[in-house]
Amino acid sequence: QILLWLDCDPGHDDALAIILAAFNSHVKFLGISTASGNQTAAKTTANAISILESIGKKHDIPVVMGASKPLLRKRQNSPEIHGESGLDGTSLLPKCDKVLYAKAQERKAIDVMAQTILAQDRKVVLVATGAMTNIALLVSVYPEVVEKVEMFTFMGGASFGPGNVSATAEFNIYIDPEAAQICMQAGFQHVAMIPLDVTHTVLVTDNIIDRIRREVGEKNKTFAQMICELMVFFRDTYERVFDFHDGPPLHDPLAVFYAITHKQNKLAFKEKLMRVDVECGNGLCVGQTVCDIWGNSSTEEKNCYVTLSVDVDKFWDSMIEALVSGGAS
Ligand code: BDR
Ligand code: CA
């Protein structure tokens, strides 16, 4: 079993990343840390707890609230994509449990992360689906954690194609580029990047929404309805903001899917090891993940498996299976 910690900012696609990790038999889900990203840290924390409640796991998977702002830059959130709550579009999401919300703030996230990771008898997998602020702080304050992480996968960046907040930068990296660069330089044993180039091939099409309604609805109509409403909201914002007509890209669960498939040797991604650095200046390319694909622009060690493509059908089969289990629980 993979020992997995998820750092996220739910977020419509983060919510599905949580569900994928929570219902995969190969995963032991150690906990969730949240940060400012799609919405404020207060809201993403509440959303994480609500999602866990909707799948009957709120007492099984601890949530800790992390960074409320990036390391150096001003906080930026994304209400135009995820709404005012960070998870707009449905009235079926359970209200956040107040006791668990208070508990999420009792201790610093990096203390809980370090303690949990270091206490395991095996190495863990760290997955990031938001800005990397918490992880940058974690490896800075507790560098001994790096050794204990066998794989760090993240959804973020754009390898060869365009960004989604600027011509070159993707949101998770753009809002805290310094944190991302700290993580790229941290010395993790295996780093895998799931960039927009890959996530934009995994769309929540009308067919997928029908599948969710049918297959998940068979177990639990209300839960299926909630997921469909969230996906429809996400679809509509992507259509409005990005002119996407075939459905929104379901970015974040792919970072979990990479960890699951890779650890079982069921390779579902094509990838290439290369040097990746993050542009931390203030010019046009701030937040760009600079991927040295030909190995001719950096003398630094190759530090990242950049994924190039994914088996989309395999992903959806796993995702829908997890949603069905979520509905049944
Ligand atoms: C990323 O930004 C967020 O809006 C999503 O949750 C995803 O992690 C995509 O650029
Ligand atoms: Ca996210």
59 catalytically annotated: no
Is pLDDT of 68 > 90? yes
Write out the two tokens for 61. Answer: 């998977």
Instruction: For residue range 97-153, list pLDDT tens digits in order.
Output: 999 999 999 999 999 999 999 999 999 999 999 999 999 999 999 999 999 999 999
What number is the average pLDDT over the span 32-45? 98
Q: Is 153 in the pocket of ligand 1 (CB under 6 A)?
A: no
Confidence (pLDDT) at 329: 80
Residue of 26, 82, 245, 251 marked catalytic = 251
Confidence (pLDDT) at 199: 98
Beta strand spans in the chain (E) = 2-8, 27-34, 63-65, 124-128, 149-155, 191-194, 269-274, 276-278, 289-291, 304-310
Find out whether 46 and 96 touch, Cβ atoms under 8 Å. Answer: yes
Give the separation between CA 35 and CA 100, rounded to whole angstroms.
16
For the purposes of burial, counting CB atoms within 10 Å of the CB of 25, is it exposed (0-12), middle (13-18) or buried (19 or more)?
A: exposed
Q: How far is the CA of 307 from the centre of ligand 1 (A)?
A: 17
In the block, residue with structure tokens 């679809």: 235
Q: Is 171 in the pocket of ligand 1 (CB under 6 A)?
A: yes
pLDDT band at 220 (very low <50, low <70, confident <90, very high): very high
Q: Pick from 210, 194, 215: which is nearest to 247 by CA? A: 210
Instruction: For residue range 138-170, list pLDDT tens digits in order.
Output: 999 999 999 999 999 999 999 999 999 999 999
Q: Is 176 in the pocket of ligand 1 (CB under 6 A)?
A: no
Residue 277: strand pairing partners: 290
Is pLDDT of 328 > 90? no
Instruction: Phi first, then psi: give them for residue 81, nearest 5 degrees.
Output: -105, -40
Give the separation between CA 315 and CA 32, rounded to whole angstroms.
22
What number is the average pLDDT over the span 194-206? 98
- Report how many helices (DSSP H) and strands (DSSP E) the chain contains, helices first: 13, 10
- More confidently predicted of 29 and 263: 29
In the block, residue with structure tokens 């044993």: 189
Mean pLDDT value across the chain: 97
* Angle between helix 109-119 and helix 133-141 axes, rounded to 10 deg: 60
Tell which atom from ligand 1 comes closest to the C-alpha of 199: 9
Mutate to test the pocket of ligand 1, among 6, 7, 12, 13 (most ligand atoms within 8 A of CB): 13
Classify the complex by whether its ipTM is higher than 0.85, answering yes or no: yes
Q: How far is the CA of 197 from the centre of ligand 2 (A)?
A: 16
| Residue 286 region by backbone torsions, left for phi larger than 0, else alpha for psi between -120 and 50, else beta | beta
What is the distance, to the nearest Å, from the Cα of residue 51 to the centroid of all Cα atoms in its chain? 14
Q: What count of other Cβ atoms lies within 10 Å of the Cβ of residue 239?
A: 14
Beta strand spans in 132-194 (E) = 149-155, 191-194
Tell which atom from ligand 1 comes closest to the C-alpha of 171: 10
Is pLDDT of 206 > 90? yes
How many degrees, rounded to 5, is the angle at CA 165 between CA 164 and CA 168? 70
Q: Pick from 258, 323, 271, 272: which is nearest to 125 by CA? A: 258
Is pLDDT of 263 > 90? no
Give the separation between CA 3 and CA 108, rounded to whole angstroms.
21
pLDDT band at 279 (very low <50, low <70, confident <90, very high): very high
Give the separation between CA 101 and CA 249, rounded to whole angstroms.
29
Q: Is 257 in the pocket of ligand 1 (CB under 6 A)?
A: no
Confidence (pLDDT) at 266: 82
Confidence (pLDDT) at 88: 98
Lowest mean pLDDT among 39-43, 60-64, 146-150, 293-297: 293-297
